[in-house]
Structure formats: C-alpha cells, structure tokens
Structure 1
C-alpha cells in the first residue's frame, strides 16, 4: 500500500518554501518537489527522487533556474556506484542516499531504513550531498541518532513524533519527525507548514 503525502516546509536556510508530492510504500520512496529560494540569490528548483528497496537512492534529477541561467543534474546510484550526469564519481561510492541541500525531505531515507523514527540507535552515513542552487555534488559524512520517542519532551503533541539528532561537520540539529519519518521541524533549516 502506498501512502501519499504533500508536505510543505518554510525553509529558513534559503528563505524560501519547498513542497513535495511523496509516495511511501513497500520500502520505497518516490517524490517530486518544487523549491523557491532567495538566498544566496533568488532561484527555482524542481526535483524528482526515486529510491529502490530499503529506501536506497536510485536517482535524483534536479533542475535549477536563477539569474545565472539553468542547470540540470542527473544523479544515479546502482550497486553502490554513483554517476553525476553520466560521469562516475568514485568518491561517492559506499553512499546509499542523496542529500539535496536545504531540503528536509532527503533526511527521510536513512531514518526509515534504520527505523530511527521508531527505535533507539545511532547510524553513520556517507551521503551524496547536492549543493543548491549550483547543483554540485560532494561526499558528506553524517550521523543520525534517535533521541526521544513521542510524549517524552518533544512538545509536538503529534502522537508519533520523535526527535532524531543530525550531525554533519560542525552542524548539529535535533530533527522533529512525524510517524512517516518526514521532518516536522529542523531548527534553523526548515519547519513544516500546517
């Protein structure tokens, strides 16, 4: 059974907004989204994200438009081998997930795979980080740690909300996630609109 969701976030990091049309089911995620950002300069971004079993990224296609023109990215992963616009990028090998910069959506895949929204644990990841709006791709070590289940200090009142700590380099943030593993609040980055 596929669950269809349409979250919209106010994204503080870009002083913009993101809406995603998400399908979750059978260990896979399919999404298409639109982003409007104003930092570092106004830009529009559209993306399509497809995972395979266990929420492992298969493909992320992104199109960005700004005053500098249009850029496109086709990021693919198959059997642990990543390509960026058809060019093999061995420094990304071993990563299972993409991370679309300033997007709260891509935190979902590693959380769901390791059920960090349901049970305690800590996991280290290598992510294929896409910086926006330039669409450059870089390896990014990250750590996710389950902190609090619903009703234990989250203040969310959402019944299934959980807090998961995210660490990447010098940045640490406590993500409030809903029962589907989608971000409700990432302080300083994004907050889901009602």
Structure 2
C-alpha cells in the first residue's frame, strides 16, 4: 500500500522527437506506482509499455518492467533493485533489428554488444548508491529524485547516479544527473555531457514542460 495516495492520468507529447505518452500514476507520501505506454520514432518506429514500482524508501525504485516492439521485432527487460541495493536485469529479444542489446550494459559489453559510447566500466558504476531508474524520453521518472528531496518546493541541489534505460533498445547503464531547486515548481536538470534543462512541475512533482523532451497535453 502507498500512504496518502493520489491517482493521476497524465499525457505528454514530444518536442524535438515525435513521441506520445500516457501514464496512470499512483503517488503516495513516500513512493509511486505507474503503468504507461510510449509511442515514438526515435531511431525507428516503436511502441513501449512499462510498469514501475518505486515504493522503496524515499521513492526508490524496486522494479521496472519494460516491453518494446516494432516491425518484426520485440524485446523486454525486467529491472530489479534488491534490498542490498544491487541491480539485476533479465532481458529478452526476438527478431533482427539494428539496435544495441537490451539489458545491463556491463553484460552487453562483455558480449561485444554494448551501445556506442557505453562501457563496462560505466555499467559497473551502477552500485547501491543508484536508487532510481530513468526511462528514456519519459518525463515520469524525473519525479522520484525530485520528490525524495522535495526539490520542487525547497532549496537544495543533489547529484544522482541513475539506472538509465535508453529507448527503444532498452540498454541499461549508469547515468550521472544533477537536480537543483530554482523556485517552487521549477528544477534545473543537468548532466556531465553538458545537457541542461529547466523543468516545470505541477503540484505533485510531475513534469509539465521539459525543454527539448516533452510537454503536458
């Protein structure tokens, strides 16, 4: 059970990439559950369905299940963070498609299948300090680190390591991110790559506008 639950149905549309997303979300005082569908054309047309359980302490991820499918291919991951903070991933795929292998990047790198730019060393950095998953092009998963530290309401800045799931390939690797409170309902997001954006949030901490990525419908 999630204490003090609020139920939301949220829609987003992509800005620079064509995407459409719908999510049913249950937000509580200390966690959330959500199911959603994302349609996109990043790299190639796809449909993606996900189920998220972030009911660990302080909105920490327990489980993310994602299934992606396109023309003549499909793949899925079950991403789990256990009670010791260790991440586990079961990946499956069917069909031939020019995408990186799904699953943990360290395992893909060992098999010579890692996505360009992602190394086994980067994947190995996905340790107990990584509390959250982050699904590519999905505004929902920004909520967990923001709500954990009340950055939508109170001053502060925090650095995070995320289990980032790229789409539509579903490769999982460590990603460094920083969130900083700017004003009520406004949070700065940045990465070591130089990418930065100012997120506009609603009263529940859900993204209303994410420059270059998505906006609420």
Above 0.5 in TM-score?
yes
Instruction: Work out whether 1:163 is the aligned partner of 2:186.
Output: yes
**Paired position in structure 1 for 2:216:** 192
**Paired position in structure 1 for 2:7:** 4
Cα separation, 2, equivalents of 1:16 and 1:128: 21
Cα distance per residue 1:92-141 (max 9 Å; x no partner): 11200000001000000000000001101100000000000000001000
Decide which of 138, 154, 159 is 1:124's aligned counterpart: 159
Cα separation, 2, equivalents of 1:91 and 1:122: 21
**Paired position in structure 2 for 1:154:** none
Cα distance per residue 1:34-70 (max 9 Å; x no partner): 0000122110000000012310000100000012500
> Residues 68 and 92 of structure 1: is their aligned pair in 2 closer, same or farther, counting only changes over 3 Å?
farther
Cα separation, 2, equivalents of 1:167 and 1:135: 22
Decide which of 24, 32, 46 is 1:43's aligned counterpart: 46
Instruction: Work out whether 1:63 is the aligned partner of 2:67.
Output: yes
Mean Cα deviation higher: 7-16 or 128-137: 7-16
Structure 1, unpaired ranges of 5+ = 150-161
> Residues 85 and 13 of structure 1: is their aligned pair in 2 closer, same or farther, counting only changes over 3 Å?
farther
Cα separation, 2, equivalents of 1:112 and 1:28: 9
Cα separation, 2, equivalents of 1:142 and 1:148: 19
State how many pairs are aligned. 181
CA drift at 1:12: 2.4
CA contact (8 A) 2:42 2:168 kept: no
Flag as ranges the 4+ runs of structure 1 deviating above 3 A.
86-90
Q: CA RMSD in A?
A: 1.5
Cα separation, 2, equivalents of 1:13 and 1:136: 22
